[in-house]
Amino acid sequence: MDAISVIRAKRDGGRLTDGQIDWIIDAYTRGEVADEQMSALAMAIFLNGMDRAEIARWTAAMIASGERMDFAALPRRTADKHSTGGVGDKITLPLAPLVAACGAAVPQLSGRGLGHTGGTLDKLESIPGWRALLSNEEMMRVLGDVGSVICAAGDGLAPADKKLYALRDVTGTVESIPLIASSIMSKKIAEGTGALVLDVKVGSGAFMKDLAAARELAATMVGLGTDHGVRTVALLTDMSTPLGRTAGNALEVRESVEVLAGGGPADVVELTLALAREMLDAAGLPDADPARALADGSAMDHWRRMISAQGGDPDAPLPVAREQHVVTAPASGVLTALDAYAVGVAAWRLGAGRARKEDPVQAGAGVELHAKPGDTVTAGEPLLTLHTDTPEKFDYALAALDGAVEVAAPGTDFTPSPIVLDRIG
């Protein structure tokens, strides 16, 4: 085999054989195929696509590049959730302990934010002492003791994907459905969970901007999970407006704790419960009641135990940004749009996110929303509060919000989009 023949096959619209896929993934992981050659192949895949059999084999080859975890020794059935990324998407934080409180085990391997989308690990690291990096032995111990763990994936899981993911980010091939699907599912299947629920975001703040593309991605991932023996279901959920009322690391942790305490924004609670019910059903616990676990405090108890088990102090004060800037409503009436992408970029520019994987983040930076679409607002009253330790970034963040807000005349009949748009599985 050689890289040029594989590149040419896909460049010319052909399908790759199993042997070609196995060889190119293995050779790239070992460094025998250069980055520029894999970049050319990624672009050929972006332009010409892959059929289901190709995607399944590509995914299997990436899984085979590393280790597979095994949770068979746990007394509970495992279920995991993956979100394709959005703005204000703090759902993993209340969801993992909630599902654990209902009887399943949740081995949640999460990532960091890049660009306008936030990262679960960045959020949790705003809790003093909390550790994202656990050994496999530590992860199993926390799962056994608490029932849920949220941590970084080890280097041994799908190492081919780690190399290819970084390459896609700098070559304009991130949005390829075969490459997105195989990237997500190779890690989740290698993780070893028995059931997987996918939260596929749709809208301005998501990678998938329209429902048709999101549905195709969801169906592809559900097919991959099913083909590899993992019970998989996907919910398509709205990301035209930020989830909840915060976008930023410590801000989102604070809001997640409010949900676990029985409060919090209605949209966050609704989506958390919807995903929890799907995870519990997939794990063979369809009669469990996650709403009761929120109400009776058992989900909060599991949250505190999970944070403590990873070195965090659940009672410690969360970081607060040194500077705030209030954005007021431009007119009186009904708020009809608050663009998720614009809010995500503003939070990123304030210091909540990073442009490169190596960049630091500010724990207290972000955007706080005082109204959501459908609410009545008054001209001159607070609409958003920007938080940062570096006030020189306010103008840069405000530029991102230009045109993000739409206010209709008082009394306008407006119904926000539902949170859950569709289900595939």
Show the domains of the chain with their CATH numbers. 3-49 (1.20.970.10), 80-155+173-309 (3.40.1030.10), 323-408 (3.90.1170.30)
> What is residue 304's three-state secondary structure?
helix
Query: Is 110 one of the annotated active-site residues of the chain?
Result: no
> How far is 145 from 84, CA to CA, in rounded Å?
29
Residue 217, Cα to own-chain centre: how many angstroms?
A: 15
In sign, the C-alpha dihedral spanning 284, 289, 295, 298 is: negative
Question: In sequence order, what E strands does 323-424 have?
Answer: 323-328, 333-338, 366-369, 376-377, 382-388, 405-408, 420-424
- Closest by Cα among 260, 308, 225 to 96: 260
Query: Looking at 57, 76, 77, 82, which residue is catalytic?
Result: 82
87 touches 344 (CB < 8 A)? yes
Pairing of strands 405-408, 333-338: antiparallel
Q: Hey, how many other C-beta atoms are within 10 angstroms of the C-beta on 328?
A: 13
Cα separation, 425 vs 421, in Å, equals 14
Per-residue CA distances from 71 to 79, 137, 147, 238, 307 (Å): 11, 11, 12, 32, 21
- Residue located via tokens 């025998």: 32
User: Which pLDDT belongs to residue 373?
Assistant: 97
The pLDDT score that the predictor gives to residue 297 is: 96
Q: In the structure, how many helices (H) and strands (E) does the chain have?
A: 16, 13
Tell me, what's the pLDDT at 397?
98
Q: What is the pLDDT of residue 174?
A: 82
Q: Please name which of 213, 233, 212 lies closest in space to residue 223, comparing C-alpha atoms.
A: 233
Structure tokens at 316: 């410690």
Which entry of 57, 90, 123, 168 is annotated as an active-site residue?
168
Q: Which long-range contacts (CB under 8 A, 24 or more apart) does 226-232 make?
A: 227/56, 228/56, 228/59, 228/60, 228/63, 228/185, 228/189, 230/188, 230/189, 230/193, 230/194, 230/195, 230/196, 231/194, 231/195, 231/196, 231/282, 232/195, 232/196, 232/197, 232/198, 232/282, 232/425
d(C-alpha 403, C-alpha 425), whole Å? 37
- Residue 108's pLDDT is 94
Q: Is residue 82 flagged as an active site residue?
A: yes
Catalytic status, residue 183: yes
> Which stretches in the chain have pLDDT values below 70?
none
Q: pLDDT value at position 330?
A: 97
The DSSP letter of residue 287 is T
pLDDT of residue 233: 98
Distance, in Å, from the CA atom of 31 to the CA atom of 376, rounded to the nearest integer, reads 57
Crossing angle (nearest 10°) for helices 3-11 and 35-48: 20
Rounded to a whole number, what is the distance in angstroms from the first to the last CA of the chain?
37
Active site residue: 39, 148, 183, 186, which one?
A: 183
